[in-house]
Amino acid sequence: MDILKLDRLLARYGPETAEIRGSLQHIIANQIVTNWPQSSTRHANPDPMRSGAATAAEGFAVAIRGLEPRDDSQRALQSRALDLSEALLQARWVRFAGVGTSVPLAFLVVLIFWLTITFASFGLFAPRNATVLVVLFVCAVSVGSAVFLILELDGPFDGLIKVSADPMRYAHAHLNQ
Protein backbone atom coordinates (compact mmCIF):
# COMPACT_ATOMS: atom_id res chain seq x y z
CA MET A 1 0.00 0.00 0.00
CA ASP A 2 1.34 3.42 -0.97
CA ILE A 3 0.53 4.94 2.42
CA LEU A 4 2.83 2.52 4.21
CA LYS A 5 5.51 2.97 1.53
CA LEU A 6 5.34 6.72 2.06
CA ASP A 7 5.58 6.33 5.82
CA ARG A 8 8.62 4.06 5.50
CA LEU A 9 10.32 6.49 3.09
CA LEU A 10 9.81 9.32 5.55
CA ALA A 11 11.10 7.16 8.42
CA ARG A 12 14.25 6.36 6.43
CA TYR A 13 14.72 10.06 5.68
CA GLY A 14 15.37 10.80 9.32
CA PRO A 15 13.89 12.00 12.62
CA GLU A 16 13.07 15.43 11.16
CA THR A 17 10.05 13.84 9.45
CA ALA A 18 8.36 12.83 12.73
CA GLU A 19 5.87 15.69 12.55
CA ILE A 20 5.10 14.96 8.88
CA ARG A 21 4.55 11.29 9.68
CA GLY A 22 2.20 12.29 12.51
CA SER A 23 0.20 14.47 10.12
CA LEU A 24 0.01 11.53 7.68
CA GLN A 25 -1.49 9.42 10.46
CA HIS A 26 -3.98 12.19 11.23
CA ILE A 27 -4.96 12.55 7.53
CA ILE A 28 -5.52 8.79 7.19
CA ALA A 29 -7.65 8.73 10.37
CA ASN A 30 -9.70 11.60 8.94
CA GLN A 31 -10.18 9.75 5.65
CA ILE A 32 -11.38 6.62 7.45
CA VAL A 33 -13.94 8.59 9.47
CA THR A 34 -15.06 10.55 6.37
CA ASN A 35 -15.39 7.60 3.98
CA TRP A 36 -16.57 4.91 6.40
CA PRO A 37 -18.62 6.49 9.19
CA GLN A 38 -19.31 4.21 12.16
CA SER A 39 -22.95 5.24 12.42
CA SER A 40 -25.16 3.42 9.92
CA THR A 41 -27.52 6.42 9.76
CA ARG A 42 -24.75 8.78 8.67
CA HIS A 43 -23.66 8.59 5.04
CA ALA A 44 -20.10 9.03 3.84
CA ASN A 45 -19.21 12.72 3.46
CA PRO A 46 -17.01 12.83 0.38
CA ASP A 47 -16.94 16.63 -0.01
CA PRO A 48 -13.25 17.55 0.30
CA MET A 49 -13.88 21.24 0.93
CA ARG A 50 -16.37 20.75 3.78
CA SER A 51 -14.25 18.20 5.62
CA GLY A 52 -11.21 20.51 5.89
CA ALA A 53 -9.01 17.60 4.88
CA ALA A 54 -8.04 19.27 1.60
CA THR A 55 -5.86 21.80 3.39
CA ALA A 56 -4.23 19.14 5.56
CA ALA A 57 -3.52 16.86 2.60
CA GLU A 58 -2.09 19.68 0.50
CA GLY A 59 -0.08 20.90 3.51
CA PHE A 60 1.37 17.41 3.87
CA ALA A 61 2.86 17.58 0.37
CA VAL A 62 4.14 21.10 1.06
CA ALA A 63 5.83 19.87 4.25
CA ILE A 64 7.64 17.12 2.32
CA ARG A 65 8.68 19.65 -0.30
CA GLY A 66 10.01 21.89 2.48
CA LEU A 67 12.44 19.28 3.80
CA GLU A 68 16.10 20.23 3.35
CA PRO A 69 18.09 17.13 2.39
CA ARG A 70 21.67 16.92 3.66
CA ASP A 71 22.94 14.36 1.15
CA ASP A 72 22.02 12.51 -2.05
CA SER A 73 20.36 9.69 -0.14
CA GLN A 74 17.95 12.06 1.56
CA ARG A 75 17.39 13.91 -1.72
CA ALA A 76 16.39 10.62 -3.39
CA LEU A 77 14.09 9.71 -0.48
CA GLN A 78 12.49 13.17 -0.58
CA SER A 79 11.92 12.84 -4.33
CA ARG A 80 10.28 9.41 -3.96
CA ALA A 81 8.18 10.65 -1.03
CA LEU A 82 7.01 13.62 -3.10
CA ASP A 83 6.06 11.33 -5.98
CA LEU A 84 4.06 9.06 -3.67
CA SER A 85 2.35 11.96 -1.90
CA GLU A 86 1.36 13.49 -5.24
CA ALA A 87 0.00 10.11 -6.40
CA LEU A 88 -2.04 9.82 -3.19
CA LEU A 89 -3.37 13.36 -3.63
CA GLN A 90 -4.31 12.56 -7.20
CA ALA A 91 -6.12 9.38 -6.13
CA ARG A 92 -7.92 11.38 -3.46
CA TRP A 93 -9.14 13.97 -5.98
CA VAL A 94 -10.20 11.25 -8.43
CA ARG A 95 -12.29 9.72 -5.65
CA PHE A 96 -13.94 13.10 -4.99
CA ALA A 97 -14.50 13.73 -8.69
CA GLY A 98 -16.54 10.53 -8.94
CA VAL A 99 -18.96 11.44 -6.14
CA GLY A 100 -22.06 11.88 -8.30
CA THR A 101 -23.89 9.12 -10.05
CA SER A 102 -22.56 8.07 -13.43
CA VAL A 103 -25.88 6.58 -14.54
CA PRO A 104 -28.20 9.34 -15.81
CA LEU A 105 -31.79 9.15 -14.59
CA ALA A 106 -33.15 9.44 -18.14
CA PHE A 107 -31.11 6.39 -19.20
CA LEU A 108 -32.39 4.42 -16.23
CA VAL A 109 -36.03 5.33 -16.97
CA VAL A 110 -35.66 4.35 -20.64
CA LEU A 111 -33.92 1.09 -19.70
CA ILE A 112 -36.63 0.11 -17.19
CA PHE A 113 -39.36 1.02 -19.69
CA TRP A 114 -37.67 -1.00 -22.44
CA LEU A 115 -37.20 -4.03 -20.18
CA THR A 116 -40.82 -3.83 -19.03
CA ILE A 117 -42.10 -3.75 -22.62
CA THR A 118 -39.78 -6.59 -23.63
CA PHE A 119 -40.86 -8.91 -20.82
CA ALA A 120 -44.53 -7.94 -21.22
CA SER A 121 -44.41 -8.82 -24.94
CA PHE A 122 -42.71 -12.14 -24.13
CA GLY A 123 -45.47 -12.84 -21.63
CA LEU A 124 -48.23 -11.92 -24.10
CA PHE A 125 -46.99 -14.14 -26.91
CA ALA A 126 -45.77 -17.11 -24.87
CA PRO A 127 -47.97 -20.14 -24.21
CA ARG A 128 -49.56 -20.21 -20.76
CA ASN A 129 -47.77 -22.95 -18.82
CA ALA A 130 -45.67 -23.21 -15.68
CA THR A 131 -42.33 -23.64 -17.47
CA VAL A 132 -42.71 -20.42 -19.46
CA LEU A 133 -43.79 -18.49 -16.36
CA VAL A 134 -40.82 -19.78 -14.35
CA VAL A 135 -38.35 -18.98 -17.15
CA LEU A 136 -39.78 -15.47 -17.62
CA PHE A 137 -39.65 -14.88 -13.88
CA VAL A 138 -36.03 -16.11 -13.60
CA CYS A 139 -34.97 -13.98 -16.58
CA ALA A 140 -36.71 -10.89 -15.18
CA VAL A 141 -35.06 -11.40 -11.78
CA SER A 142 -31.69 -11.90 -13.50
CA VAL A 143 -31.94 -8.71 -15.56
CA GLY A 144 -33.28 -6.76 -12.57
CA SER A 145 -30.38 -8.03 -10.45
CA ALA A 146 -27.88 -6.92 -13.10
CA VAL A 147 -29.37 -3.41 -13.15
CA PHE A 148 -29.34 -3.37 -9.33
CA LEU A 149 -25.66 -4.38 -9.25
CA ILE A 150 -24.73 -1.67 -11.76
CA LEU A 151 -26.48 0.94 -9.62
CA GLU A 152 -24.99 -0.49 -6.43
CA LEU A 153 -21.43 -0.40 -7.80
CA ASP A 154 -21.94 3.21 -8.87
CA GLY A 155 -21.71 4.29 -5.21
CA PRO A 156 -18.68 2.49 -3.74
CA PHE A 157 -19.08 3.90 -0.20
CA ASP A 158 -22.89 3.62 0.15
CA GLY A 159 -25.43 0.85 -0.27
CA LEU A 160 -25.24 -2.90 0.22
CA ILE A 161 -21.93 -3.42 -1.60
CA LYS A 162 -19.23 -1.16 -0.17
CA VAL A 163 -15.50 -0.75 -0.50
CA SER A 164 -13.90 -2.26 2.58
CA ALA A 165 -12.19 0.01 5.09
CA ASP A 166 -9.88 -2.79 6.26
CA PRO A 167 -6.84 -1.87 4.10
CA MET A 168 -6.98 1.76 5.28
CA ARG A 169 -7.44 0.70 8.91
CA TYR A 170 -4.50 -1.70 8.56
CA ALA A 171 -2.33 1.07 7.10
CA HIS A 172 -3.41 3.47 9.85
CA ALA A 173 -2.60 0.93 12.55
CA HIS A 174 0.89 0.36 11.13
CA LEU A 175 1.89 3.99 10.55
CA ASN A 176 4.81 5.37 12.62
CA GLN A 177 6.06 1.90 13.53
Confidence of residue 31 (pLDDT cuts 50, 70, 90): confident
- The answer to whether the CB of 82 falls within 8 A of the CB of 65 is yes
Asked whether the predicted pLDDT for residue 159 surpasses 90, the reply is no
Q: How far is CA 163 from CA 35, 60, 71, 152, in A?
A: 9, 25, 41, 11
Q: Determine the residue type at 168.
A: M
Cα(57)–Cα(95) distance, integer angstroms: 14
User: What are the residue boundaries of the structural domains of the chain, listed by start?
Assistant: 2-100+167-173, 105-153
- The answer to whether the CB of 2 falls within 8 A of the CB of 12 is no
169: closest CA among 54, 42, 32?
32
pLDDT, position 34? 83
The SS3 call for residue 149 is helix
Confidence of residue 164 (pLDDT cuts 50, 70, 90): confident
The SS3 call for residue 147 is helix
> Residues 102-148: pLDDT tens digits?
788 899 999 999 999 998 898 888 888 999 989 999 999 999 999 99
- The answer to whether the CB of 57 falls within 8 A of the CB of 89 is yes
- The answer to whether the CB of 160 falls within 8 A of the CB of 107 is no
Asked whether the predicted pLDDT for residue 54 surpasses 90, the reply is no
pLDDT, position 103? 84
pLDDT, position 40? 57
Cα(54)–Cα(173) distance, integer angstroms: 22
Say which DSSP state 176 is in. Answer: T
Cα(159)–Cα(177) distance, integer angstroms: 34
Spell 72-87 as b/e; 16+ CB within 10 A means b: eebeebbebbbebbee
> Residues 14-23: pLDDT tens digits?
999 999 999 9
Asked whether the predicted pLDDT for residue 74 surpasses 90, the reply is yes
Asked whether the predicted pLDDT for residue 32 surpasses 60, the reply is yes
Cα Dmax for the chain: 84
pLDDT, position 114? 94
Rounded to the nearest integer, the mean pLDDT of the chain is: 85
pLDDT, position 112? 93
pLDDT, position 154? 84
Cα(25)–Cα(18) distance, integer angstroms: 11
